[in-house]
Chains A and B, each alone.
Chain A
């Protein structure tokens, strides 16, 4: 890691804070996935991993390679845009699958049509 000596101080400080914040946020998101009591609360745990945690790590990676190679390295923007565009679709499809499965399991098909909004966690 000899080439790391060329990193200026301000960039190193920014990188350290971004990495520590990102790592902690990722850990908290996974912790929420593990220990929240029911599924509809659990789905909010990974959301912070995907947005803030991944954002911090991606910005840190961009900054690191830009400073290290002293040219503009921006291709992590591709991953950022891709993740920001696909993570909403994934969470929407998963929660919709969960809602439909719960409706079917409880034989309450009318829940979708009549708009009496489904309230599952109390029934468990």
Chain B
């Protein structure tokens, strides 16, 4: 099972993608989708070689995190649009801030960057290579410590939990 279906999540998503693209539930399309879902992860396995496919330890936390991020996106989109329409008289305090990160998993970092960049008002610039600190650009900064606390407790901690098991599994002695 593990050998022929290395990532059930990826296979399922490819299957759904094929059906959505063709907009049909014909048996022929079901068959083609199954072939795609089995063959593509097998062919792409060598691309993922050093770390392997991501394993979600706790999908429930991922769903809750995505819901929280959706609410946050709508909320901050409204904030940013109010700032654009009615600019403050003394100008916005747009700055770069630094946030120290504990997260090391590449998939976790990718998820974190997607969530942060999707939220209007914050843009992920880069991770400073030698000290593992994240540089963010914030549209209207009121308190730097608040941002550090928010990112670390509301985003980073759930992501560490989601990918937690994989860290132990993928690093054999």
Contacts and interface: CB of A to CB of B under 8 A. Distances in A.
Does a CB–CB distance below 8 Å link A and B in the complex?
yes
Contacts of B131: 115
A36 B91 CA distance: 10
A68 interface: no
Interface string A27-64: 01101100011001101110110011000000000000
Interface stretch (B33-41, B43-51, B76-84, B153-161): B76-84
A88 B133 CA distance: 19
A25 B139 contact: no
Interface string A85-113: 10111011001100100000000000011
B77 A112 contact: no
Contacts of B77: 25, 47-48, 51-52
A95 B137 contact: yes
Interface string B75-105: 0010011001100000110111110000000
Interface stretch (B3-11, B54-62, B115-123, B162-170): B115-123
A32 B91 CA distance: 14
A118 to B, nearest CB: 6
Given A28-B84, A48-B77, A75-B20, A96 B125 contact: yes
Contacts of A95: 123, 125, 137
Given A74-B20, A115-B128, A44 B121 contact: yes
A117 B94 CA distance: 13
B68 interface: no
A121 interface: yes
B148 interface: no
Nearest to B117: A88
A99 B92 CA distance: 19
Contact of B80 (A48, A85, A89, A117): A48
A29 to B, nearest CB: 8
Contact of A28 (B81, B95, B125, B130): B81
A16 interface: no
B139 A41 contact: yes
A86 B116 CA distance: 13
Interface of A: 25, 28-29, 31-32, 36-37, 40-41, 43-45, 47-48, 51-52, 73-75, 77-78, 84-85, 87-89, 91-92, 95-96, 99, 112-113, 115, 117-119, 121
Given A78-B20, A88-B113, 9 more contacts: A32-B81, A51-B120, A75-B21, A78-B21, A99-B125, A115-B98, A115-B128, A115-B131, A117-B135
